Amino acid sequence: MKTHTILISACITLSVFLFSSCKEKIQHENFYSNVATRIGSSAKYSSSYNLTVYCGHDKRQCNNACVTINGVSTHLPCQGFGNLCVGSFPVIMEIISYNDYTATTLDSTALTNEDFFNMPSRSLFVEYDEKHNEVWLNIPAQFVYRDSLSRQFTFTGLFYSNSAYYANN
């Protein structure tokens, strides 16, 4: 009977270990799914990126009242916190000052057809540098509106780091 109890305990412990290892691997892979890919003929020095960002959540997670727009609480599909949807859109980066950038969309409808976008904080893997250090592009959370003339969105306060700054959740 004692051997049977030890065997069951060992199986449970092994199962918990395998499950948590698998879960960590899946979370790690999803974390690296938020990426910024340089585009252009000399990609290494390009200021254009294609950003792939996971965001959004089910409306039940915010009681269909995530944000208030014109005095009305509402849910914005595929916007805000979470990883329910994936968006891929090109941007042009512009340096404001040392490690402070803006990114302006190049396609007016790739991100959304709405006149606003609720961007969650995200860290996007860019590449490994020449010393094999990770390079991440970090975007702070912000609610952005389309420019009335260009119809593009501009994200502000972006910065680079050698590790992900945000949790991407």
pLDDT tens per residue across span 127-137? 999 999 999 99
Query: pLDDT class for 24, splitting at 50, 70, 90?
Result: very low
Q: Which residues have a Cβ under 8 Å from the Cβ of 76 and sit 6 or more positions away?
A: 56, 66, 67, 114, 118
With a pLDDT cut of 70, the percent of the chain lying above it is 78
The kind and range of the H/E element at 148 are: none
Query: pLDDT class for 96, splitting at 50, 70, 90?
Result: very high
Report the number of secondary-structure helices (H) and strands (E) in the chain.
1, 11
The mean predicted confidence, pLDDT, of the chain is: 80
Query: pLDDT class for 26, splitting at 50, 70, 90?
Result: very low
Predicted confidence (pLDDT) at residue 93 exceeds the cutoff of 60: yes
Predicted confidence (pLDDT) at residue 147 exceeds the cutoff of 70: yes
Radius of gyration (Cα) for the chain, nearest Å? 20
pLDDT digits (tens, 9 = 90+) for 54-89: 998 887 877 777 777 788 887 788 888 899 899 899
